[in-house]
Amino acid sequence: MLKGLLLHVISKLQKSRSASGAVHILKGKRSAQTIQDIELFQLNQWAGAARCWKGKDLAALAEQLYNEKMITGDNRRSAVTDKGYHLLKQTAWMNELYFQGREYEWTGFAEVFWRKLNLTVQAAGSLASTNRGFLPVYAEADERDAVRSIIKRAGSRRVNRLIYEKLDQELRQLPDKSALIFVSRLAGNQSQGKTVKQLAGSMPEEEVYLRWRSVIHQLMSTEWPEEFLPLISHVKQQSALTNSAVKTRALVMNGKSKDEIAAERGLKSSTVEDHLVELAMFDSAFPAARYIPSEKLKELTVILQDAGQQASLKDIKETAGDKGSYFDIRLAGALMKNRKEGKL
């Protein structure tokens, strides 16, 4: 399990959030609190890093850390103990990884890219050989179509050669452990590739998983030959916003109120609020004045600045009193972040 990673995120939260807050970040929860915490505590690298793991398993792991005296605290704030920091020292290998969770895991882009790439390697290799029969690895229908278009356009032999050259070039620049894990996960003519559990012999499963995903991120960040454009088109065409927030954005730009959006989309008001906070944080065109009066925004901005990044929403609400709702505070915090980065 991801014991070291969970401890790392808890330590980065600076005794200001609970272990559950760390789990939400790793799981990629789409709540305003989680999105805000990712930015405030500079955890973009690991946001959504555990999307492929079950939430109940991560929660059980957090409980295990309490029982093993690795962390201490309550349901509001957790802290890493000396025993926990001793374990963290054994995860120094994480520092050498090119891991971009917020960009590739949180959005789901990494998994889509992996399925396309894995099928391309398997299909092109099989079709270019004398043995054309193979059991294809799993991929969604549109992903299979993308792979077919690559092979149809360039031919299996050319694709096989180009992808070998590209992977060879990129993997030579990475740690040997990471490169070997990645290659072992790739499917072949008669194999589906080894699983993370199967590779977790000489190193923890957590390390195998994170090294594998980091290679995927590295490959996604590089330039690919024109023939492989369908491999990365899903990344180029989508924004950092969640798909649901993008749909809400269309209604926002049409002048809809929060209640109108909730009614039209059949969503809870709290879900729409989460989307609006997400838009306020990442979209420079977000019409803030439509959802929070300028005077209220100024007051809450001062309160947020005085509170500092370690303050929880509950603490800030107690200070703000009737000057703003939880939604107002979240929106003000998101707009502060947006302005800080020069988007507004």
CA distance 59 to 19: 8
| Confidence class for position 239, pLDDT limits 50, 70, 90 | low
> Token match 């916003």: residue?
241
CA angle 70/60/102 to nearest 5° reads 85
| pLDDT at 50 exceeding the cut of 80 | yes
Q: What is the average pLDDT value for the chain, to the nearest integer?
A: 90
Task: Please give the C-alpha separations between residue 153 and each of 131, 146, 230, 235, in angstroms, as whole numbers.
Answer: 21, 11, 11, 21
Q: Which pLDDT score is estimated for 240?
A: 61
CA angle 58/108/113 to nearest 5° reads 125
Q: Which pLDDT score is estimated for 81?
A: 97
Q: What is the pLDDT of residues 172-202, one digit of tens each?
A: 999 999 999 999 999 987 788 999 999 998 8
> Token match 């790439």: residue?
117
| pLDDT at 343 exceeding the cut of 80 | no
| pLDDT at 246 exceeding the cut of 90 | no
The domains located in the chain, with CATH, are 3-96 (1.10.10.10), 109-237 (no CATH), 243-340 (1.10.10.1390)
| Confidence class for position 309, pLDDT limits 50, 70, 90 | low
Q: Which pLDDT score is estimated for 133?
A: 73
CA distance 271 to 1: 30
